[in-house]
Amino acid sequence: MKTNAGTAIYLYCVVRAARRPRLAHVPAGVPGASAPELHRVVGSLWLIAAEVPLDVYDPEELEPRLRNLDWVSDVAVAHEAVTEHFARGREAVVVPMKMFTMFSSIEKAVADVASRHRTIERAMRHIGGCEEWGIRISRRPGAPTADSEVPPRTGVAFLQARKAARDTAATARAETAAAADRAFDRLSRHAKDAYRRARGSEPGSNPPILEAAFLVRAGARGRFKTEARRQASAVATAGGELTLTGPWPAYNFVGPDPAA
C-alpha cells in the first residue's frame, strides 16, 4: 500500500494465521476508507489496514466528529465488521486494534506492530481458541418495588411514604445486584477469563447493575449459554433483566493495550 498525500493509515486488527488470510468478501470498512489490505508483520502475523482521508480523520478534523454519536456508531460497526471477518477465519487468532488507531505510513504502522510482536503473540496465546461474550444486567423497567397504598393525606404521611418508596427501591435494587453478582460468579466458572466493568455513575434513571465480559473456549460455548439462560431466569425473579451478546473478538482480554 502506497500512502497517498492527504491520507493516513487506519488499523483494524492483527491476525495470526499460518496461511495468508483471505480478502474475499471482506467488508468495506470505516466511512471514506479504501478497501482493507493485508501486510505481513513478522512470521505468521498480519496487519489489516486501509487508507483514510485526512480531511475526515486528521485529529483536528476528527475531534468535532466524535461528538456526532451516529457517525461514531457507523465507524464502530464498520471497524467491528472487518475485525469479525478475519476472526472467523479457520485457525486464525485476532487482536483488535482500538478505533482510530492511525499512522502516517504503512511502514511506520508495520514497524510499530513488529516492535510489540512478542506482547501481541502472548495475548494471542491467551485468547486462542476462545471467543468473547458479554452480559448486561439492569433493573427491569416497571419491576414492582412497592405495594400500592392509599395516597397520603398529610405532609408527614407524604414524607413517610416517600422514604418508604426510596427504601423499597433501594432494597429491590440490592436484590437485583445480588442476583447479578451470583450470575457473574456462575458464568465465570464456564469461562477461561472474566472481566467486569466497575460500577460507575452512568447517567440515566436505570443505569446497568452489571456489565461483564467472558472469555469462553469455543468448546464450552453451549455450557456457557445454557448457564446464561439459567441466570437470566434467576435475575428476572429478582426484578432484573439479563442481556447476552456475542460472540465477539476478544477485545477485553488482550492484555494492557498490546495493539494500542
The Cβ-side half-sphere exposure at 84, using a 13 Å CA radius, reads 13
Cβ within 8 Å of residue 124, ≥6 positions away: 16, 93, 95
* Cis, bond preceding 31 (omega within 30 deg of 0): no
Beta bridge pairs of residue 132: 215, 248
| pLDDT(51) > 70 | yes
According to the model, what pLDDT value does residue 142 have?
63
Of 56, 40, 57, the residue nearest 48 (C-alpha): 40
H-assigned helices in the chain: 54-57, 59-65, 69-87, 106-115, 117-127, 155-188, 221-237
Measure the CA–CA gap between 189 and 198, rounded to whole angstroms: 20
Give SS3 for 3. Answer: coil
∠ CA 38-42-47, rounded to 5° = 25
Render pLDDT for 129-167 as a digit per residue (tens, 0 to 9).
Answer: 899 999 999 987 765 544 445 566 666 655 655 666 665
Higher-confidence position of 75 and 204: 75
How far, in Å, CA of 16 to CA of 45, rounded? 5
Task: Say which CATH architecture domain 131-253 belongs to.
Answer: 2-Layer Sandwich (3.30)
Return the domain boundaries, the chain: 7-128, 131-253
pTM equals 0.74
The residue whose grid cell reads 471514506 is 32
> How many other β-carbons are positioned within 10 Å of the β-carbon of residue 240?
27
Instruction: Determine the pLDDT at residue 148.
Output: 46
Coil, strand, or helix at residue 47? strand
Summarised one tens digit per residue, pLDDT across range 171-230 is: 667 788 899 999 999 999 999 999 998 765 455 556 788 999 999 998 999 999 999 999
